[in-house]
Structure 1
Amino acid sequence: MRRRYKRKPIKPQKPRYRVNEHIRVPVVFVVDEKGEKLGEMETGKALEIAHERELDLVEVAPNAQPPVCKIISYGKFQYSQSKQDRLSKAKQKKTGTKGIRLGMRTDEHDLAFKKKQAEKFLSKGHKVKIELRLKGREKAHQDLAKENLRNFVESLDIPYKIEDDIKKFPGGFNVVISAN
């Protein structure tokens, strides 16, 4: 039997920092471990200062003119960078799209329940994708389906804005709304 291999997902590469002898620029702008600016100097001299203090010379801004280097322990620098990345990732607001499915023959009570569900999602800041599925002969009454979907959206009590207008897809119609 034939084996199928899945490709490994490509991880986004973290920026690589040049350290100590890997810095190939003749002149750098140096900042020490306390954040004080030591000014522009030759890379060799900056390396000597870093070795005297038993620390590393890390190129933090390679695109600057001249490149900015910091005298700091490289291990501590990597740790602080990873910590900063984790904090920024945690602060990102995750807004997913929630889905609600309706049918042409969905009963009033079920519509009320779905309406309450949509309002709950909108109040939490999520986008809501409302799908109206069409089956069999229902596909002949597309104008009625659009009207049902429009009525459901207009019945919502929470203020909303329409992200994507009513669109046809193979199984029916859908609309994406978000909180105002």
Structure 2
Amino acid sequence: MPLAEAIQEAQKRGKDLVEVAPQASPVVCKFLDFGKYKYRQEKREKKKQKVQKLKEMRFTSQIEEHDFETKVRHIRRFLEHDDKVKVTVIFRGREIVHMDRGRELLARLVKQTEGIGKVDQSPKVLGRSLQMVIVPTGIKENEHGKKEKEPQGTRQAL
């Protein structure tokens, strides 16, 4: 159907002539209400997006080894679920003098999350705390223990 004829037909029906498949040969158009079409398209796009949450894990500079390991396990779980993790080391009282202990703690944490997370925001001093952000890398381990790169865009929002 010629373009001019299709536009007249759309006006008769009170609809819009919407190009649905521009890559096809010949181009595919439909008689639709453009507002509804655009709304549905945006809704579909929003469904495909992955919502990434920011989780926070707080440490003190005097944390014991077992407590540290427990918190590292939680951080690894957050990263495996594709969530960002904000790690905060809090200094109380005179602990602020030993800022190097906090930096060592964060360095150990980065080393233990090396396979599944990477540092997005390097450690910064904010008041009486030291903060950094770790993001997931997208590399997953399969059931045989081998590491695989996860294809982009395969995960969907839950």
TM-score by length of 1: 0.60
Is 1:97 the equivalent of 2:54? yes
Which whole-Å CA distance do the structure 2 matches of 1:71 and 1:153 have between them? 54
Q: What amino acid is aligned across from residue 124 of structure 1 in structure 2?
A: H
Question: Once superposed, what is the RMSD of the aligned Cα atoms?
Answer: 2.5
Cα offset, 1:174, TM superposition? 1.2
* Residues in 2 aligned to 1:137 and 1:163: alpha-carbon distance in whole angstroms: 29
Q: 1:57 to 1:121 in 2, by over 3 A?
A: closer
Q: Cα gap change, 1:85/1:137 in structure 2, threshold over 3 Å: closer, same or farther?
A: same
Residue 144 of structure 1, aligned match among 101, 112, 120? 101
Q: Tell me how far apart the structure 1 counterparts of residues 16 and 90 of structure 2 sit (CA, whole Å).
A: 62
Structure 2: gaps (5+ residues): 20-28, 138-158
Counterparts of 1:47 and 1:154, CA distance in 2: 63
Calculate the TM-score normalised by the size of structure 2.
0.68
Rounded Cα–Cα distance in structure 2 between residues aligned with 1:93 and 1:73: 29
Structure 1 ranges of 4+ moved more than 6 A: none
Give the equivalent residue in structure 2 for 1:135: 92
**Cα distance change of structure 1 residues 59 and 143 upon mapping to structure 2, 3 Å threshold:** same
Aligned-residue offset at 1:58: 5.7
d(CA) in 2 for partners of 1:83 and 1:131?
A: 41
CA contact 1:158–1:179 (8 Å) conserved in 2: no
- After TM superposition, list the pairs within 5 Å mapping 1:169-180 onto structure 2: 169-180=126-137
CA contact (8 A) 1:115 1:152 kept: yes
- Contact 1:119/1:157 (8 A) holds in 2: no
How has the CA–CA distance of structure 1 residues 115 and 73 changed in structure 2, closer, same or farther, with 3 Å as cutoff?
Answer: closer
**Equivalent residue letter for 2:35:** Q
Q: CA deviation at 1:71?
A: 6.9
Q: Is the 8 A contact 1:164 1:177 kept in 2?
A: yes
Q: Which structure has more RCO (C-alpha within 8 Å, separation ≥ 6)?
A: 2
Q: Alignment identity in percent?
A: 24
Number of residue-to-residue matches in the alignment: 128
Of 154-163 and 131-140, the range deviating more from structure 2: 154-163
Unaligned 5+ segments in structure 1 are: 1-35, 61-69
From the superposition, tell whether residues 142 and 84 of structure 1 become closer, same or farther in structure 2 (CA, over 3 Å).
Answer: same
